[in-house]
């Protein structure tokens, strides 16, 4: 894929719509700017959709599910069988993200990007690039061809979602061991030591955390991912889920669709997308603050600020889905609230 060509084809945000949205906000009968970053997000939606009246009435969360060979090194609290078990419940809308999405009229779309176990469920979208990645502490996690395949699949899928009428997409993931790949990708792209990017994931002890960082350091030392080549980084120390979400961000920008970042794993994918196609950042909406150390580093790099800080660390896209009803409420203020002119000012 020619990412430079793709980036050049992505439209900049519509300045006329941005200016009109700011002007409209200033007319709402409340202290100017008093909804802070929420106002900025609605304004950004206007620029993305190229209108002063944005529409997010049809929305979905795409959950990218995959397994990671590095789990053989004991970097996670649970074994990889949990990925398939939880993916099945996500597809049935019985997991956390399903319960939350139902409350805000958001569709849950489950994609198998390469789990160890292939599930017999027609509701799961087949984007499989393999039966899990290889163990990155021994060699490359995947081939470059597999990474390119997943990005292409995701880009095409977003085009289909737009054709089906979706106005906004939230990202989510499921995959045991994916905070390990996330830490490796972040360290490689930002030129940092794994100690600076690695967190405990779901409950690792101090000894477990030290082992996890050591495995990531070993993977980087063995594979020598090129910092200035995101595809090289992804293929050597990434995960199928991260690669797939990278493609979702690129596809969203190509199609003029706003896309919500969830936690640290989807943030790492956002960083990869921004390195491949810088204009993709214009289409990203950050949702919540992750406690993982890599998250703040990525947000600072992307110059994005999440609006929620609830100590969430669940995954599945739950944080991204939490942003949707907040956007709905903010849009209601933007659209329906009395204006200063109504008050005679």
Give yes or no for a contact between 277 and 6, defined as CB atoms under 8 angstroms apart: yes
In-domain check, residue 40? yes
State whether 99 and 119 are in the same domain: yes
In-domain check, residue 287? yes
State whether 22 and 37 are in the same domain: yes
Smallest CA-to-CA distance from 157 within 69, 281, 233, 245 is with 245
Q: Alpha carbon 46 to chain centroid distance? A: 21
Strand partners, 62: 109, 171
State whether 144 and 158 are in the same domain: yes
Cα angle 125-58-298, degrees, rounded to a multiple of 5: 70
Greatest alpha-carbon span in the chain: 71
State whether 230 and 295 are in the same domain: yes
Distance between CA 22 and CA 162 in Å, rounded?
Answer: 26
- 250-272 in b/e burial notation, b at 16+ Cβ within 10 A? bbbbbbebbbbbbbbbbbbbbbb
Tokens linked to 193 = 């030591």
State whether 190 and 311 are in the same domain: yes
Range of 47's domain?
Answer: 3-53+332-336
In-domain check, residue 341? no
State whether 29 and 110 are in the same domain: no
In-domain check, residue 149? yes
In-domain check, residue 277? yes
Three-state secondary-structure class, residue 136: coil
In-domain check, residue 215? yes
State whether 201 and 225 are in the same domain: yes
Distance between CA 342 and CA 345 in Å, rounded?
Answer: 7
Give yes or no for a contact between 173 and 270, defined as CB atoms under 8 angstroms apart: no
Tokens linked to 25 = 């906000």
CATH assignment at residue 215: 3.40.50.10210
Instruction: Tell if the pTM clears 0.95, that is, is over it.
Output: yes
**Domains of the chain: total:** 2
State whether 175 and 313 are in the same domain: yes
In-domain check, residue 245? yes
State whether 167 and 107 are in the same domain: yes
State whether 163 and 35 are in the same domain: no
CATH assignment at residue 18: 1.10.1610.10
In-domain check, residue 172? yes
State whether 113 and 30 are in the same domain: no
Q: Which helix (H) or strand (E) holds 338?
A: none
What does the pLDDT look like over 22-44, one tens digit per residue? 999 999 999 999 999 999 999 99
Q: Is 152 left (phi over 0), alpha (psi -120 to 50) or beta?
A: alpha
State the burial class of residue 342 (Cβ atoms within 10 Å of its Cβ: 0-12, 13-18, 19+).
exposed
State whether 8 and 141 are in the same domain: no
**If DSSP states are collapsed to H, E and C, what string results for 189-219?**
HHCCCHHHHCCCCCCCCHHHHHHHHHHHHHH
Tell me the pLDDT of the chain (345 aa) as tens digits. Answer: 899 999 999 999 999 999 999 999 999 999 999 999 999 999 999 999 999 999 999 999 999 999 999 999 999 888 999 999 999 999 999 999 999 999 999 999 999 999 999 999 999 999 999 999 999 999 999 999 999 999 999 999 999 999 999 999 999 999 999 999 999 999 999 999 999 999 887 778 888 789 999 999 999 999 999 999 999 999 999 999 999 999 999 999 999 999 999 999 999 999 999 999 999 999 999 999 999 999 999 999 999 999 999 999 999 999 999 999 999 999 999 999 999 998 888
**Catalytic annotation on 316?**
yes
What does the pLDDT look like over 295-333, one tens digit per residue? 999 999 999 999 999 999 999 999 999 999 999 999 999
Smallest CA-to-CA distance from 52 within 11, 88, 10, 17 is with 17
Tokens linked to 27 = 């007319």
Helical segments of the chain, H only = 3-9, 15-27, 36-49, 81-91, 96-103, 144-163, 178-190, 194-197, 206-223, 230-237, 240-254, 264-276, 293-302, 318-336
- 128-139 in b/e burial notation, b at 16+ Cβ within 10 A? bbbebbbbbbee
């Amino acid at each position: 894929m020619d990412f430079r060509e793709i980036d050049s084809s992505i439209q900049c945000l519509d300045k006329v719509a941005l200016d009109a949205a700011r002007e409209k906000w200033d007319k709402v009968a409340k202290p100017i700017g008093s909804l802070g970053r929420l106002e900025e997000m609605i304004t950004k939606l206007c620029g993305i959709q190229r209108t002063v009246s944005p529409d997010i009435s049809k929305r979905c969360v795409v959950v990218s599910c995959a397994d990671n060979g590095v789990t053989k090194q004991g970097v996670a609290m649970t074994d990889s069988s949990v990925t398939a078990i939880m993916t099945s419940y996500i597809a049935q809308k019985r997991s956390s993200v399903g319960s939350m999405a139902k409350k805000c009229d958001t569709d849950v779309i489950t994609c198998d990007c390469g789990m160890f176990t292939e599930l017999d469920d027609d509701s799961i979208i087949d984007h499989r690039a393999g039966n899990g990645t290889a163990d990155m502490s021994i060699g490359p996690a995947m081939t470059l061809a597999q990474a390119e395949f997943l990005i292409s699949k995701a880009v095409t899928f977003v085009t289909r979602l737009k054709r089906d009428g979706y106005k906004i997409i939230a990202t989510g993931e499921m995959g045991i061991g994916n905070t390990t790949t996330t830490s490796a990708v972040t360290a490689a792209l930002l030129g940092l030591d794994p100690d600076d990017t690695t967190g405990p994931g779901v409950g690792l002890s101090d000894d477990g955390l030290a082992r996890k960082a050591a495995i990531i350091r070993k993977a980087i030392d063995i594979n020598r991912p090129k910092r200035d080549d995101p595809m090289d980084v992804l293929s050597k120390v990434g995960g199928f889920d991260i690669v797939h979400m990278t493609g979702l961000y690129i596809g969203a920008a190509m199609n003029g669709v706003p896309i919500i970042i969830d936690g640290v794993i989807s943030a790492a994918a956002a960083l990869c997308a921004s390195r491949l196609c810088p204009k993709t950042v214009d289409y990203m909406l950050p949702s919540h603050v992750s406690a993982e150390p890599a998250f703040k580093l990525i947000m600072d790099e992307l110059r994005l600020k999440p609006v929620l800080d609830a100590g969430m660390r669940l995954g599945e896209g739950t944080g991204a889905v939490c942003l949707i009803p907040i956007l709905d409420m903010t849009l209601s203020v933007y659209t329906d609230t009395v204006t200063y002119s109504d008050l005679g000012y």
